[in-house]
Structure 1
Amino acid sequence: MLEVTCGKTGRYCDGISRRSALKLGFAGLGGLTLAGLYRAEAAAGITSSNKAVINIHLGGGPSHQDMFDLKPEAAREFRGEFNPIKTNVSGFDICEHFPRLAAMADKFAVIRSLIGMVDDHSNFHTQTGYGRKDLQNIGGRPGIGAVVSKLLGPAGSGAPAHIAYNDAPVGYLGPVYKGYRPSGGDLKLVGSMTADRLESRTNLLSSLDKLRRETDGSGQMKALDSFTQRAVGVVTSGDVANALDLDKEDKKVRERYGKDMDSFLRARRLVEAGVRVVTFDWGGWDTHANNFDSLRKQLPRLDQGMSALINDLHERGMEKDVTIVMWGEFGRTPRVNMGAGRDHWSRVAMGFLAGGGMRTGQFIGSTTKNAEEAKDRPIHLQEVFSTIYHNMGIDVSRTQIIDPAGRPQYLTDKRDPIKELV
């Protein structure tokens, strides 16, 4: 059984479940052979590259002023309970609960003046750069994983272009570009099954389903073909199967990431195996109450997992090819509420970036005295996406995708990459 899962179990303050799953059995599914897919890619001019992005969503909305934009001179009801510490970059202070990241601040950049966020408990805008209502009449905006899958396709290693461990909007591109999530059991060939036999079976299923496929007007059968092919690719690619098996990782490396940080390690292993886009949610950040008690537990774990991921990429020579972006749906209120929490605040937020060959070791922009508004160098959410696409080798100033209504759509409206980074 294969499972394509959107999101993770859990609820935010709006009471909406973040889990939605579609389970697909092999019966009734068809697809191209792996060899046929590679021939099609070659004919389309799609070639392998090492460029990749890891998009990490801190679901619930992380407190920007308690992480990377502390205000020690503000009144206590604004500054909160944490203190800033110096990093290895002069003038770049961050939270005291990030000692590992503080020692390697030259390897990442922080946007302190991120605008364009939406007061919506969703990762939709950190996947697309747009709100959910944009182009809703034709399916909505596609996420970066779907866009990269459409424009670049698989890298040629057998890995799917996009693996999503959270909601990954496909928008008007349709379900064929939905992020793939392998789940359940050991994804390896067993017994007498060989790659050729597995591909022969998918060819047979494709033939049996030909009539239904030809009469299907929704695109769902085409999507199932795509899911099947990606599953075959995962199973027949030793690199991808090994990447998913964290027991194959060196014990010392696993310990470096820390407890419950498998998502960070798995992301590194997947991009190393050829996946172009990996997206996942981590942690619970909807801290309307007990903000500081929650962060005292969350921040040290994030510090360990993120520092391990960045170090891993540098040690493996991948830091110029793999872009890391970490953010949430919005920031938190400047004033601490009566429950020692912070509420939703979409007027300014933080963005964390590393790798991708970017100029790191800097913070970009600033906020007003209580971290309530962007003051200097506001950076729009879409400018971050334009930067990530640039790092992936996609020219957003020219690239367009034709939507279902026949209209060309740019990937972003703000198409200049962030000049401080590229």
Structure 2
Amino acid sequence: MLRFLGSARRFCDGHTRRDFLQIGAFGSGLTLADVMRHRAASAAGAKKQASTAQKSAIMIYLPGGPSHMDMYDLKPDAPAEFRGEFKPIKTNVAGVEICEHFPLQAKMWDKLACVRSVVSVDEHSDSLVMTGYPERVNRTADHPSFGSVLSKLRSSSGGAVPPFVSLRGMSRGTEPGYLGIAHRPFTPSGQGNANLRLANGVSADRLGDRKNLLDKFDDTRREIDATGTMTGMDAYNERAIEMVTAGVVRDALDLRKEDPKVVDRYKGVEAFLTAWRLIEAGVGCVTLSVGGWDTHGQNFQTLKRQLPVVDKGIANLIQDLHDRGMQDDVVTVMWGEFGRTPKVNASAGRDHWSPVMSALIAGGGLKMGQAVGASTAKGERPKDNPLSVPRVLSTIYGVLGIDPSTTFANGAGRPMYVLDEREPVKELVG
């Protein structure tokens, strides 16, 4: 088993968040066949859901805390030390204005929506926006991430496509918590593609010979297994081999198989292209991250570089989903862990600000072309309609046909709700 450490990102709290990946397994020494086996075994205890169309989600995380005041909730009438350097521009929806560095989104705002009154917590972690619970709670409660919940509930569907893919490696916010390691995301970063290829010198026939040999060993294990856990092992091995040999995910990750003109449009924001290719291939949840947003100093210089990147990625992604008729079947959400201080500091930066932040939403059959809620005149707190992170997540779960009141047993056997706050954002679903 090989473990590869990915890129590290250090925030202002001094802690380093590092992505990691284990080659040849999804973690803890499990083979791909073991992962399949664990998924189906754990799915047996999951609460059954009403079957709806298999919708998908793209979760875009902006690590470090993006400035709500300089993106979707500008305050042009506030004093200079609050409003900052950027000016608002009109969108194609009357009454909605966004940052001047978002011209592409402005032209397609009828396909987008923003929640501008989200209340967060002061933690440098994606735990809250990916699980619905802050990191300080998850250190002991170990709640699962959004993608892991989807993996748990869809694991029995089988096939050659993993239900959950993280294009940004592993973090507490992508982990399965008490759902078990079988529901970790597939992480194709770095050399992770080794999970999708036959080893050098191994043909499909030779792989079949190896499988037959494994089956013979498993016959012996079945004879001494009194628990019945070996039952159906052949089927799981078939599914594991199918994921390797079918190449569906491998092809989705290989941008050389995409139209060069499309690839050129996504130059510099290739992760957005990879995300919708994975969704088109059948992945249920894809998460990715963009940039670093912990702008305690030189906030505006940093955002002048990063906002056009986000604008390009979002505009191309959402337009392509519409062009392929996938807009109602895929919900996209983009946010960070909190907002930034309304008042600019002495270093031309903005510090952490949890009382209010913004979240961009698109697709999923939700009501687009609007800005839900707003902050006060100086961007200090919600002016009205304060909305918690779990309520936004509950809305996204609803799009995918997942009831957030579903319960799973944690490590102690206690039933735990997916979310404790489960009311959706009515302006989006109405």
| TM-score normalised by the chain length of structure 1 | 0.86
Deviation at 1:121, TM superposition (A): 1.2
TM-superposition CA deviations, 1:358-379 (whole Å, max 9, x none)? 1100000011111110111111
CA distance in 2, matches of 1:233, 1:124: 33
SS in 1 for 2:73: coil
Letter in 2 for 1:334: P
1:138-287 matched pairs, under 5 angstroms: 138=141, 140-153=142-155, 156-164=158-166, 165-166=168-169, 167=171, 168-182=174-188, 183-184=190-191, 187-189=196-198, 193-194=203-204, 198=207, 201=210, 204=213, 232-259=241-268, 261-287=269-295
Which stretch has the larger CA shift, 40-49 or 127-136? 40-49
Q: Which amino acid aligns with 1:282?
A: V
Paired residue for 2:423?
A: 416
Shift of 1:137: 3.3
Whether the 8 Å CA contact 2:66–2:336 is kept in 1: the answer is yes
> 2: CA distance between counterparts of 1:61 and 1:275?
27
Specify which of 75, 81, 93 is matched with residue 79 of structure 2. Answer: 75
- 1:218 maps to what in 2? none
In 2, Cα distance between the equivalents of 1:233 and 1:286? Answer: 42
* 1:395 Cα offset (Å): 1.7
Which of 313, 319, 325 is matched with 1:305 structurally? 313
Bigger Cα displacement from structure 2, 14-23 vs 40-49: 40-49
What do the CA deviations read for 1:148-182 (whole angstroms, capped 9, x no partner)?
Answer: 11112275441111111232122111212111113
In structure 1, the partner of 2:12 is 13
Is the 1:163–1:279 Cα contact (8 Å) retained in structure 2?
A: yes
Find the aligned partners of 1:285 and 1:383 in 2 and give their Cα distance: 24
Q: How many matched pairs? A: 403
Shift of 1:42: 11
Q: What does 1:36-47 align with in structure 2 at a 5 Å threshold? A: none
Q: Which residue of 2 aligns with 1:392?
A: 400
Distance 1:334 1:252 in 2: 41
- Structure 2 CA distance for aligned equivalents of residues 40 and 197 of structure 1: 29
Residue in 2 that maps onto 1:87: 91
CA contact (8 A) 1:29 1:206 kept: no
Amino acid at match of 2:408: I
For residue 18 of structure 1, give the secondary structure of its aligned residue in structure 2: strand
Q: Which amino acid aligns with 1:147?
A: V
Give the match for residue 140 of structure 2: 137
8 A Cα contact 1:180 1:230, kept in partner: no
In the alignment, is the contact (CA less than 8 A) between 1:2 and 1:231 conserved in 2?
no
| Equivalent residue, structure 2, for 1:289 | 297
Consecutive unaligned residues of structure 2, counting only runs of 5 or more, are 226-235
Return closer, same or farther for 1:204/1:22 CA change in 2, 3 Å cut-off. farther
The Cα shift of 1:188 comes to 3.6
- Note the C-alpha offset of 1:133: 2.8
Question: Pick from 358, 363, 384: which aligns with 1:355?
Answer: 363
Deviation at 1:315, TM superposition (A): 0.6
Q: 1:412 to 1:39 in 2, by over 3 A?
A: closer
Query: Which residue in the other structure is 1:101 paired with?
Result: 105
Distance in 1 (CA, whole Å) between partners of 2:336 and 2:181 is: 25
Change (3 A) 1:233 1:360: farther
Q: Distance in 2 between matches of 1:231 and 1:2?
A: 19
Q: Is the 8 A contact 1:154 1:275 kept in 2?
A: no
User: Which structure has greater helix proportion?
Assistant: 2
In the alignment, the residues of structure 1 paired with residue 373 and residue 135 of structure 2 have an alpha-carbon distance, to the nearest angstrom, of 27
- The secondary structure found in structure 2 opposite 1:243 is helix
How far the C-alpha of 1:3 sits from its partner, in A, is 6.2
Which position in structure 1 is the counterpart of 2:59? Answer: 55
Gaps of 5+ in 1: 216-226
| Cα separation, 2, equivalents of 1:101 and 1:200 | 53
Report the CA distance between 1:231 and its aligned residue. 6.7
Pairwise CA distance, 1:254: 1.4
> What is the rounded CA distance, in whole Å, between the counterparts of 2:137 and 2:237 in structure 1?
30
Q: CA deviation at 1:24?
A: 3.3
Please state whether the residue corresponding to 2:350 is helix, strand or coil: coil
* Residue 219 (structure 1) aligns with: none
SS in 1 for 2:391: helix
Secondary structure in 2 matching 1:141:
coil
Cα distance in 2 for partners of 1:279, 1:291 equals 25
The letter for the 1-side match of 2:344 is V
Alpha-carbon separation, structure 2, partners of 1:31 and 1:202: 13
Letter in 2 for 1:133: R
Q: Which moved more, 1:129-138 or 1:42-51?
A: 42-51
For the residues of structure 1 that align with 2:369 and 2:2, how far apart are their CA atoms? 42
Following TM superposition, by how much is the alpha carbon of 1:191 offset from its aligned partner in structure 2, in angstroms?
A: 5.7
CA-based RMSD:
3.3
Aligned residue in 2 for 1:369? 377
Return closer, same or farther for 1:306/1:148 CA change in 2, 3 Å cut-off: same
TM-score normalised by L of structure 2: 0.84
Letter of the 2:304 partner, please give it: R
Query: What are the superposed Cα offsets for residues 240-296 of structure 1, whole Å, 9 maximum, x if unpaired?
Result: 11101011111111122232x111111101111111111122111010000001000
For 1:11, give the aligned amino acid: R
Shift of the alpha carbon at 1:87?
Answer: 0.3
Task: Identify if the C-alpha distance between structure 1 residues 100 and 235 changes in structure 2 by more than 3 Å, giving closer, same or farther.
Answer: same
Contact 1:58 1:281 survives alignment (8 Å): yes
Letter of the structure 1 residue corresponding to residue 64 of structure 2: G
